[in-house]
């Protein structure tokens, strides 16, 4: 099977959940399909280490971002304008006109706006739309303007009318999309973990050491960590220390540092931090998709305390594999309980690791992606 894989970013370096997900799926699915990656470049020079991306696919080409034309600015939501690339759109259209691909994979819903319908349908190539998260829910939760949300709503409607096959990270997101657009063929492929990299080190965990992990310029993470430090931790009765680890710390986080809170920022390797922590805390209040960091933490045997929103997309049970609690006082009580009984927390994490190993290796998830492509092709042939 020959797949044209269109992405709004080069999945490298691996400094965000979305890029990790795309890269790992590409790397694993290359054992089953011939995948040709076309991606939009970030501003500035190309990142080092792109040999890993080239090795993960049959061919790779990247294109600079360009400003949207006046008519496009009127109809495209902000996220589609940000990742706009006229050179990539033209290159993809040329490739589609040749009809040499079996399926097109759009790695974000808003990329539907980059392809002209006449070219796409003339080529007769089935398309699978991949949602890392539901853009419309995310826009509303993060305070996007009503006008931009309306444009996202229109774009989602167009994408769902044009393309029947959609891949999502969580069952919750799939149900939301199906409710708005009945008749879709959806497949849930949660986030996974590289089981060869993430495994228990066996070293002793530091007592009462909490870890927050995530990109520190990402709106939902900023909301979560500020809520944690301002509202939750003052209610925790047990002694604690918090390390905040993640790339690109936002200037707004400057007030968080103190005697018991350390803003570490970006690190070369998160595994030692997961290996030392008493627990990973995931106090997310704005969600969508599923969280790589929970799978990675449990794969290393690190106890996890998460909100329900934070744990969406993973088949994990509260009290069995991790601890799930609502934000605010209930989250504080959950932290108290985990820190007070590290043996019980370790037992939950051990069961969580077994579930992650069973279901969330990238190899098995990539087979699900290949099955989604096969399904799209089979349905196209049957018409």
In sequence order, what are the residues at sequence separation of 6 or more whose Cβ sits closer than 8 angstroms to the Cβ of residue 25? 189, 362, 365, 366, 369
**Tell me: domain 209-359, CATH 3.40.50.12160, correct?**
no
Which ranges constitute the DSSP H helices of the chain?
17-29, 51-55, 70-75, 78-82, 86-98, 117-123, 135-141, 146-162, 171-180, 219-227, 271-276, 292-299, 329-340, 342-359, 362-382
What is the reported pTM? 0.89
- CATH number of the domain at 2-192+362-382, out of 3.40.50.2000, 1.10.287.310, 3.40.50.1110, 3.40.50.720? 3.40.50.2000
| pLDDT tens, residue by residue, 146-205 | 999 999 999 999 999 989 999 999 999 999 999 999 999 999 999 999 999 999 987 789
Domain ranges of the chain: 2-192+362-382, 209-359
Task: Note whether 2-192+362-382 and 209-359 share their fold.
Answer: yes
| pLDDT tens, residue by residue, 344-383 | 999 999 999 999 999 999 999 999 999 999 999 997 776 6
Q: What is the pLDDT of residue 382?
A: 65
């Amino acid at each position: 099977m020959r797949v044209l894989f269109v992405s709004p970013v080069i999945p490298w370096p691996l400094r965000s959940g979305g890029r990790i997900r795309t890269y790992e799926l590409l790397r694993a699915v290359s054992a089953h399909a011939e995948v040709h990656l076309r991606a939009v470049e970030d501003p500035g020079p190309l990142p080092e280490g792109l040999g890993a991306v080239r090795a993960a696919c049959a061919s790779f080409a990247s294109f600079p971002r360009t400003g949207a034309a006046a008519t496009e600015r009127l109809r495209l939501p902000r996220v589609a304008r940000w990742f706009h690339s006229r050179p990539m759109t033209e290159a993809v259209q040329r490739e589609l006109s040749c009809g040499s691909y079996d399926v097109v994979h759009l790695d974000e819903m808003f990329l539907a706006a980059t392809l002209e319908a006449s070219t796409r349908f003339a080529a007769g190539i089935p398309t699978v739309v991949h949602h890392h998260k539901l853009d419309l829910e995310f826009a509303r939760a993060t305070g996007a303007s009503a006008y931009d949300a309306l444009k996202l709503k229109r774009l989602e409607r167009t994408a769902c009318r044009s393309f029947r096959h959609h891949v999502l990270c969580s069952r919750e997101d799939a149900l939301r999309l199906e409710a708005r657009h009945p008749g879709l063929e959806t497949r849930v492929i949660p986030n996974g973990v590289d089981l060869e990299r993430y495994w228990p080190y066996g070293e002793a965990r530091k007592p009462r050491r909490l870890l927050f992990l995530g990109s520190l310029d990402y709106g939902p993470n900023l909301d979560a960590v500020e809520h944690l430090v301002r509202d939750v931790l003052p209610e925790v009765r047990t002694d604690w220390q918090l390390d905040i680890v993640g790339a690109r710390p936002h200037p707004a986080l400057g007030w968080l540092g103190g005697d018991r809170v350390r803003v570490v920022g970006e690190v070369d390797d998160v595994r030692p931090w997961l290996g030392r922590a008493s627990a990973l805390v995931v106090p997310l209040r704005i969600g969508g998709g599923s969280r790589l960091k929970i799978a990675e933490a449990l794969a290393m045997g690190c106890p996890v305390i998460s909100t329900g929103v934070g744990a969406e997309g993973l088949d994990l049970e509260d009290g069995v594999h991790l601890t799930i609690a609502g934000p605010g006082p209930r989250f504080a009580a959950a932290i108290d309980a985990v820190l007070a009984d590290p043996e019980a927390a370790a037992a939950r994490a051990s069961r969580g690791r077994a579930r992650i190993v069973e279901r969330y290796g990238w190899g098995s998830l990539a087979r699900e992606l290949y099955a989604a492509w096969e399904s799209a092709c089979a349905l196209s042939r049957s018409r």
